[in-house]
Amino acid sequence: MNPLVTTDWLGAHLGAADLRIADVRWYMDPARRGRDAYAAGHIPGAVFLDMDADLSAPGGGRGRPAGRHPWPDAAQVARVMSAAGIGPETQVVAYDDQAGAIAARLWYLLRAFGHDAVAVLDGGLAKWTAEGRALETVSAAPDVAHFVARPREGWVLDKAAMVRERERALVLDARAGPRYRGESDPIDPRAGHIPGARNAPYAENLTEGPVPVLRTPAELRARFAALGAEAAPPIVYCGSGVTACHDLLALELAGVKGGRLYAGSWSEWSADPDLPLATGPG
């Protein structure tokens, strides 16, 4: 399955027996809940997967040692995906309302656990609604499937692996420039970035305008080549291992294979006072 599908493709495949659409809307603002947004209107047939409860291990949060969105284990992934009606042959399309910034987490998670039939909806809900396509408010109740989680070695790094590899690998930080430079960080314990990391804000993978979509593969290839990613597939991190997956999606579209995720990301790294940090432009 292509890593990116269009609204036309999804519209033509609505209701297909082997397709599961996943709404993974999530917001940094604690006053906003993705589940409430889903209940107010979602793409027909979509199930809701919660970033905190479904796509992250328990025990996460601001200032927690494991970071804000700890990587789930195989047992949790198997349970969650099975309950969502995702089986070995299911094609999955993930969407959000932030141009794929959140949906890419599900895309990378499924692939890291051995399921390649997954894509992100290009333009997400914003493009879907801008085209006048239908929404529904009825919650989907899919039949339980049997998802087998098969973790792929090396796709996800823990803190110990990041400490070992950061000095010899290309490391990309997907956060916005001010947080990368350490000018301010209202979210995590310390401001700055992992020493040696280069800034690759995920938002720069997108076109400008009211309904952003992913840039062309050629544009993405040029972007990541300028960061050194063609010569050395990178390790990517962000604040908590969510928007880093958008960079990994963009790298895939650019034809750069072998990118890896540091799952704990800055929220885990910055919570450990014994780990170094850098500030400034890098």
Concatenating the DSSP letter of every residue in 201-239 gives: -GGGGB--SSS--BPPHHHHHHHHHHTTTTTSPPEEE-S
- Helix then strand count (H, E) for the chain reads 10, 10
The yes/no answer on whether domain 4-130 falls in CATH 3.40.50.720 is no
Fold for domain 156-269?
A: Oxidized Rhodanese; domain 1 (3.40.250)
Count other Cβ atoms within 10 Å, centred on residue 67: 30
pLDDT at 282: 80
* Domain positions in the chain: 4-130, 156-269
What percentage of the chain exceeds 70 in pLDDT?
Answer: 100
CA distance 261 to 117: 19
* Residue 268 in tokens: 């885990």
Count other Cβ atoms within 10 Å, centred on residue 59: 10
Angle between helices 103-112 and 244-254 (to 10 degrees): 70
Residue 117 pLDDT > 90: yes
CB of 261 closer than 8 Å to CB of 157: yes
Residue 4 pLDDT > 90: yes
Cα 55 to Cα 182, 214, 277, distances in angstroms: 28, 23, 28
Average pLDDT over residues 7-23: 97
Could you read off the pLDDT of 188-200 as tens digits, one per residue? 999 999 999 999 9
Residue 230 pLDDT > 90: no
Q: Which residues participate in catalysis according to the annotation?
A: 238
For residue 93, give the nearest of 187, 196, 10 by alpha carbon: 10
Rounded to two decimals, the pTM is 0.98
Same fold, 4-130 and 156-269: yes
The per-residue pLDDT of the chain, averaged, comes to 97
* Residue 65 in tokens: 């040692």
* Residue 247 in tokens: 């960079």
Average pLDDT over residues 107-113: 98
